[in-house]
Every structure is written in C-alpha cells, then in structure tokens.
C-alpha cells in the first residue's frame, strides 16, 4: 500500500512525510559489536564484516555510539578530537568504507554528536585550563576561587555527585555535569558554537544522514550559577530545569538549523527535550526550524527502583500521553533500550527461559508498531538479556563505579544500591553481541573488554538464523511489515482498555487501513473485548502458532503479540 503527502493531508494530519520519520534505526555500541583485530574491543571493521547481517535485519539506519578519538573515561562520550577516529576502533579510511558500505545497501548513518562537553584531554581544554588569559579560557565554564566556592551543581558521574572541580593550575573551578574528565563546553561563547557547526559540516560533507545530539538539553544553562532553593538543590529530580533548558537553548538550536541542518538532507534528534510536552514541541515542531525529533526521558526514568517497579498502566499512559501530544505536530522516537538502559526483555518482558523468546518478540512488536521513529538496540533482535553483575568490581561503567563511591560517601544503603545496579546498570546492555556458540560468542578471539553473557550458548544469531520461529526472524517480519504498512508509522493511535493491568492494545489507522495491535505483557492468558472492532482473517504478526478469538473477544496466551487487520 502506498501513501503520499496528499493522503496524509486528506486524513486531516498536518504531519508531512519525511524519510527520517520512516526510519527503523539499529543502534550499535561499537565496543561490543564485533572485534576484527583480536583486541577484545569491537571496531569499525567488525561492523563492516557484519554489514550483510545488518541489512538482513531490514533496518534502514544505523546509529553508532561515539567513534571519535577519546581517552574512554565514558566509553567515547569524552571526545579529545571530533574529526579523528578512536584508534581502538580503526581509521578514517575504515569509517569511509563503512559509510559507503551502508549507503550501498540503502542504509543511512546517524552520528552521535557529543557537544555539551568534551574530554579534558581535548586541545581546547588543555589550553583553557593552562591560564586565565588563554584564548580558549571561555570555551568552558570557570569559576575563580577568589569568588568563594560556586553554588552546588549535580554531576551524573562524579564520585561525590558534585559538578564543580577545583583546578589548582589557575585556582578556579570548572563545571562538569558528567565525569571530571568531561568538562562542559560554554555555548554562550559564539566561537564554541562555530566549532560545533564546523564539526557537523565535516561529517555532513562526508555524507552522514543524521545527528543524535547527546545531552542537548543541557547546552544552555543559567551561567550566573545562582543558588537554588534547598528543595531544588536537594532533589535530583529537578535537574533538567535547574541545570539545563537554559535561556538560549532555542537560539542555539535555530542557529544550528540555519548553519547546518537546513543545508544538508539530515535530521537531528535531541537526547532529552526538557520536562514537558511544551518544552519538547518548542524544540522539534517543524515550524520552529530547530531540531527534528524528540527523545524524552519519561520511560527511561519510569520504575527505576527494584522495590517499586513500573506498572503496565503507567507504561501505557506515558506512551499514550506523548503520542497524543505529538499526534499532529512534532515527531517522537520510540525505544525501549539503549546503551544507557538495561536489556528490554529483562526490564519490560520476562527473561526466564520459558517466556524470554515470546516476550522479546512481544516487545519488538511494540517497538515496530508505534507511531514515531523506531530505535532498536543491537542484540534485542535476538532477545539478549541483562548480565546482572553481583559485585561492584565486575562493573566497567563509570556511572556504576562512581555511583557506588558516591553512595558510600553519602552513607546510603549499599545493599539497595547494588540491587538497583544489578537491574538497571548500563553494563547490562553493553556486553558483547552474541554471534554464535563459539568462544566469546564469536565476538572476539581475545577476552572481551566486558564479559559475554553466559547464555550465549543458546541465545545467539547463528542459532536463530535458521529457525523460522526465532526472535531474530520475528524481528525481520516486523521490519518488513513496518516498511510496507505506513499506517504503523503515521497512522492514528487509539488506546484500548487503558486500565487493563496486563494487556496493551491499540488501534492504528490510516486512510481506511485499520490495524489492531494486541500485546500481552503477562505470563497468564488475558482476554481483550473487541467491542465494535471486527477482526479480519488477515493476521500480519503473531508470535504464537494460533489465535484464540471469537467475534466478541480475543484471548492472548502469555506474552502473545499480534497485529491483525480490522474494521
């Protein structure tokens, strides 16, 4: 079935068709995808080796986490040169070959752009910290010590949670919202912004198709650095309005649009879009001429306490509210996992052997049937699970290691801290891709930088390749369907049975095409009343062999997921 802009307009949707809205983005954590050199670390040639696999998934874009030169304090999110490739990952020739290989297969490429901060090993920072009158001094945020200690600011990765770091060399503090080795760039300095646009042009000229703007909501901040009220200062949940979404954010985004985004056929997705729908719309609505796609944190932050997990009605409510707010204007990304989150099947499905496959297929059905651009994290097409480290010395991630130190420093309950880490640590999703049942899961000849999940013997791409019922082949059916049925991309969304504790069901509709998506998020059978909906015999997706339906109701087996044509 084909649609064009006229159809969308006829349906009363102000949404215009754009290639970036229709993407199925496959996110690759390059450190963990495929090691081609026997170092235990994945690399660009490893991704090149796997291009045919990537193409076989039916995805249309690849987003790689940062591949620039970096001392790797935060695995590449601390960049020391924005126009060079990290040595561990390969060379610029490798990058060019990778990009050409993707484009040859009609797959687009999204670059991760980390410009809220650089590495402290970037030449700009080395200069900036060397003297107070260095021309690069104002590239970063400095607070001279003679003004006293600056007012408290949170840091995500600091071992005491503080974002100001005293630097003896010039008797001043610098600001780092992330680790001490990730000083925040000063966007109020127009030279900094021009540097950023220059970097973006460099990559756009090479032919990249999009930018994921890391931590973008923090680039504009109140640089008078006032003292916040105790209520705000002591409550981390206020971090977005107090630390980001500053007065010039929209000026910067508009300038970026004018200088770069409008000049190439590229899009930008903002990681973080403030704390309300209005904030998000102001950044991404088309008539704003700023950024193109929002990535909000409501699902990321939901239920991240092992003793107080999220409920399905909450999950449905968040997705439905966001969808409603963006139904006619603006555009969202849909994701359930990434390199900052645990594995989706462990978090939202059920990773016990009896239900792992069914629930992974069910979650992929969700990801590929919602309105918005789908982001699929590598390994989720196989149903890879959390590694669930037990002790702090097993962790590799700076957020875990320094988070533990901070919890110790603050006298927090360490047992509780460790239980949360086990469930939500970023390392859970950073373990190597499980290619086959050979040593190190076929990821590397050498001991990998982070252990392979022991379940690689039965969860791996090779084993799933020839099984028509595997999670992998189910994923392929879904990408194929999403590409054929634009109803899944652009169609209206209507939530059914909003309060149901275990079922997530919705209707998608575009230009006479009506689809029912029915997902059972529980390990018990559940019944959905069909009310006025009539199902056809055309079941497009089903992760079980059969369907249990009557004209009045559809009964779903544990974690069953279906997409059915309806009237």
Integer CA distances (angstroms), 487 to 110, 367, 508, 542, in order: 24, 14, 6, 18
Nearer to ligand GLC, 48 or 219 (CB): 219
Nearer to ligand GLC, 122 or 339 (CB): 339
Nearer to ligand GLC, 70 or 170 (CB): 70
- Rg over CA atoms, the chain: 24
Nearer to ligand GLC, 170 or 431 (CB): 431
Rounded least distance, CB 155 to ligand GLC, Å? 11
DSSP 218-274: GSS--TT-PPPPHHHHT-GGGHHHHHSS-TTHHHHHHHHHHHTGGGTT-EEEEE---
User: Cα–Cα distance between 108 and 102 in angstroms, integer?
Assistant: 7
Rounded least distance, CB 477 to ligand GLC, Å? 30
- Cβ atoms of 544 and 554 within 8 Å: the answer is no
Nearer to ligand GLC, 335 or 504 (CB): 335
User: Cα–Cα distance between 487 and 493 in angstroms, integer?
Assistant: 10
Chain position whose Cβ is nearest to ligand GLC: 77
Nearest-CA neighbor of 174 among 215, 223, 213, 217? 223
Rounded least distance, CB 338 to ligand GLC, Å? 7
Integer CA distances (angstroms), 406 to 17, 75, 162, 349, 414, in order: 47, 20, 10, 31, 10
Integer CA distances (angstroms), 436 to 58, 249, 432, 454, in order: 20, 46, 11, 12
Q: Please pick, among 271, 290, 323, 380, the residue that the annotation labels catalytic.
A: 271
The residues of the shown chain that bind ligand GLC, judged by CB under 6 A, are 74, 77, 114, 178, 214-215, 271, 339-340
Nearer to ligand GLC, 61 or 359 (CB): 61
User: Cα–Cα distance between 331 and 419 in angstroms, integer?
Assistant: 36
Is residue 271 annotated as part of the catalytic site, yes or no? yes
User: Cα–Cα distance between 476 and 304 in angstroms, integer?
Assistant: 30
Q: Please pick, among 214, 290, 323, 397, the residue that the annotation labels catalytic.
A: 214
Q: Is 274 left (phi over 0), alpha (psi -120 to 50) or beta?
A: left
User: Cα–Cα distance between 113 and 213 in angstroms, integer?
Assistant: 5
Nearer to ligand GLC, 73 or 497 (CB): 73
User: Cα–Cα distance between 556 and 560 in angstroms, integer?
Assistant: 6
Rounded least distance, CB 288 to ligand GLC, Å? 23
> What are the structure tokens assigned to 295, written together?
């990535």
Nearest-CA neighbor of 214 among 111, 124, 119, 81? 111
Would you please indicate which residues are annotated as catalytic (active-site) residues?
214, 271
């Amino acid at each position: 079935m084909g649609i064009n802009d006229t159809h969308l307009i006829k349906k009363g949707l102000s949404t215009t068709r754009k290639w970036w809205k229709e993407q199925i983005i496959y996110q690759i954590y390059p450190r963990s995808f495929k090691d081609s050199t026997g170092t235990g670390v994945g690399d660009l040639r490893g991704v090149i080796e796997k291009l045919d696999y990537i193409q076989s998934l039916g995805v249309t874009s690849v987003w790689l986490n940062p591949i620039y030169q970096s001392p790797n304090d935060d695995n590449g999110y601390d960049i020391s040169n924005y126009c060079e490739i990290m040595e561990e990952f390969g060379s610029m020739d490798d990058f060019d070959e990778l990009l050409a290989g993707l484009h040859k297969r009609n797959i687009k490429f999204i670059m991760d752009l980390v410009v809220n901060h650089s590495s402290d090993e970037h030449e700009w920072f080395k200069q900036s910290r060397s003297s107070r009158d260095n021309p690069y001094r104002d590239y970063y945020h400095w607070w001279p010590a003679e003004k006293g200690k600056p007012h408290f600011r949170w840091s995500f990765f600091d071992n005491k949670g503080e974002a100001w770091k005293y630097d003896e060399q010039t008797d001043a503090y610098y600001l780092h919202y992330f680790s001490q080795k990730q000083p925040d760039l000063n966007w109020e300095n127009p030279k900094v912004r021009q540097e950023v646009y220059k970097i973006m042009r460099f990559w756009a000229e090479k032919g990249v198709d999009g930018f994921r703007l890391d931590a973008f909501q923090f680039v504009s901040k109140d640089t008078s650095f006032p003292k916040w009220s105790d209520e705000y200062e002591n409550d981390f949940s206020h971090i977005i309005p107090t630390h980001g979404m500053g007065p010039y954010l929209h000026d910067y985004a508009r300038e970026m649009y004018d200088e770069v985004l409008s000049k190439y056929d590229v899009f930008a997705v903002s990681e973080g879009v403030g704390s309300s729908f209005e904030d998000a719309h102001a950044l991404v609505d088309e008539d704003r001429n700023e950024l193109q796609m929002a990535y909000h944190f409501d699902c990321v932050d939901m239920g991240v306490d092992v003793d107080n997990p999220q409920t399905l009605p909450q999950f449905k409510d968040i997705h439905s509210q966001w969808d409603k707010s963006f139904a006619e204007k603006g555009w969202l990304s849909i994701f359930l996992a990434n390199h900052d989150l645990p594995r989706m099947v462990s978090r939202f499905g059920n990773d016990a052997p009896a239900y792992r496959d069914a629930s992974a297929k069910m979650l992929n059905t969700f990801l590929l049937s919602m309105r918005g651009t789908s982001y699929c994290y590598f390994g989720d097409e196989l149903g890879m699970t959390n590694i669930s480290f037990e002790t702090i010395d097993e962790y590799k991630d700076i957020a875990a290691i320094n988070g533990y130190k901070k919890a110790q420093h603050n006298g927090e309950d360490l047992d509780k801290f460790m239980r949360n880490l086990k469930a939500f640590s970023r390392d859970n999703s950073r373990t190597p891709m499980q290619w086959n049942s050979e040593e190190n899961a076929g990821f590397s000849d050498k001991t990998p930088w982070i252990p392979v999940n022991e379940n690689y013997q039965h969860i791996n791409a090779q084993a799933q390749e020839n099984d028509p019922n595997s999670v992998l082949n189910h994923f392929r059916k879904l990408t194929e369907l999403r590409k054929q049925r634009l109803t899944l991309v652009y169609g209206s969304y209507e939530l059914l049975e909003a309060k149901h504790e275990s079922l997530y069901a919705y209707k998608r509709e575009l230009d006479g095409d009506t689809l029912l998506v029915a997902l059972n998020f529980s390990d018990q059978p559940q019944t959905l009343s069909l009310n006025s909906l009539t199902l056809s015999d055309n079941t497009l997706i089903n992760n079980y062999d059969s369907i249990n339906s009557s004209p009045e109701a559809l009964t779903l087996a544990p974690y069953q997921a279906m997409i059915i044509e309806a009237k």
